Structure 1
């Protein structure tokens, strides 16, 4: 890997089985029968010759158990298997503050945390405890963001941030007020880690919003924005945030503790 040209590793650490009516907003309006659908849980590691960047940290054991999610791989073990030096404080990107994306921030006590200002402001603001929004977060994990802010480890941005050469954070909103995506330069072309701006490829391809949404119009606009990025060549590889078919689209990790649970783009 050369400086500014990254390898992206996609790690599947959890899963669950649910229904289409559960994951798609007002699914009955599509006039289609309900049916089963899987949901996988991922985090991502971005590395070049000079740096390692962690994108989200997955759900905690407590957060996953509370929601009856199946843990396939302990995130701490996965980071260690990837050779991520957690004690060195690699930057951690928070694409949004839901329980399945910030549940293990405590593994990185020295790391700067980078999050959209709109995201941090919302979850520390007056509407964060409303039932339809609050069920997707853990209070102690939001407190962890507050603590990072007090410690001077929290870095916020408005709409876009070039975090490093070849790594750009873009706030798109929709799923949450500060939902962000990560554009990464790789040898295989530019990769967009869509996180929960695109849970499922079908969601994006058919403009079918996810059931958890803070701004419906913003979610539709995010789909259009990503389509424009793909059409223009700004994005070559789109990585969905929860689709069970994600790993099969990329190069599998063939052996070791991540075999069958990770893939790379380089």
Structure 2
């Protein structure tokens, strides 16, 4: 790969089954019957000839077990299969399923929105409706890391931009990546499900509802203008089927773009 050619790898490491009323905020207001829905768990690896960037690190064994999530592959094994050894890490937000394995890369620099870090180290982090999505020891670990914080947008490298949207959490961020297949938006939990985005159906866990709606609009504008060609959701089970499947040890659990 040349420096200009990033490749994005989407790795599905976990899954669960639930119901629609569990994932969509105030689902009864849509006047639709409840029904089963799956939720997959991903992390993302962005690479070119010059650098490797890991976007989120998945849930830890303890964090997943505490919430009865099914692990399909240990993230450590997936990183090993991909040959990830010396990355920069982007934390899109600090929920348990996005920072659970930061300790796999103890010396890696970590990029996170200042609003995200400030919230989870601030006075409201232990409120019940918010705290259930984090692990205290993982937040403590984040405090000890070498952090690059930002407000608004951050150009991590040529062709890689981190954009703070908020909504799901105060500093919820997305990552825009230039690839040979066109620009890719790793939406993380700004878009858990494609339906969530397409129908403006906010997720059940939200710190600022208006910011979540505005995040949908911002992404729509980016897609309409061509700034984004490929939208990658944070949890939709249909995600891998939209992109090129990989072969080898991650077959069935990963896909690539670029």
Unaligned runs of 5+ in 1: none
Which residue matches 2:3?
Answer: 3
Secondary structure of the residue aligned to 2:237 is coil
Match 2:123 to one of 112, 123, 126:
126
Q: Does 1:257 align with 2:249?
A: yes
Measure, in 1, the Cα distance between the counterparts of 2:53 and 2:15: 24
Measure, in 2, the Cα distance between the counterparts of 1:204 and 1:172: 14
CA shift, 1:250, in A, is: 0.1
CA shift, 1:5, in A, is: 2.1
1:68-83 → structure 2 map (5 Å cutoff): 68-83=68-83
Secondary structure of the residue aligned to 2:79 is helix
1:186-225 → structure 2 map (5 Å cutoff): 186-225=179-218
Secondary structure of the residue aligned to 2:54 is strand
Secondary structure of the residue aligned to 2:187 is strand
Which residue matches 1:111?
Answer: 108
Which residue matches 2:152?
Answer: 159
Q: Deviations over 1:188-210 (max 9, x none)?
A: 00000000000000000000000
Which residue matches 1:168?
Answer: 161
Instruction: Give the aligned length.
Output: 258
Measure, in 2, the Cα distance between the counterparts of 1:2 and 1:26: 47
Which residue matches 2:92?
Answer: 95
TM-score w.r.t. structure 2 length? 0.99
Q: Does 1:237 align with 2:234?
A: no
Q: Deviations over 1:228-250 (max 9, x none)?
A: 00000000000000000000000
CA shift, 1:4, in A, is: 2.8
Measure, in 1, the Cα distance between the counterparts of 2:28 and 2:230: 31
CA shift, 1:176, in A, is: 0.1
CA shift, 1:145, in A, is: 0.8
Measure, in 2, the Cα distance between the counterparts of 1:184 and 1:2: 14
Measure, in 2, the Cα distance between the counterparts of 1:120 and 1:239: 24
Which residue matches 1:19?
Answer: 19
Secondary structure of the residue aligned to 1:132 is helix
Q: Deviations over 1:129-174 (max 9, x none)?
A: 00000000000000011111xxxx1110000000000000000000
Q: Does 1:49 align with 2:49?
A: yes
Measure, in 1, the Cα distance between the counterparts of 2:143 and 2:12: 28
RMSD: 0.5
Could you list the structure 1 runs, at least 4 aligned residues long, displaced by more than 6 angstroms after superposition.
none
Measure, in 2, the Cα distance between the counterparts of 1:24 and 1:199: 10
CA shift, 1:2, in A, is: 1.4
TM-score w.r.t. structure 1 length? 0.96
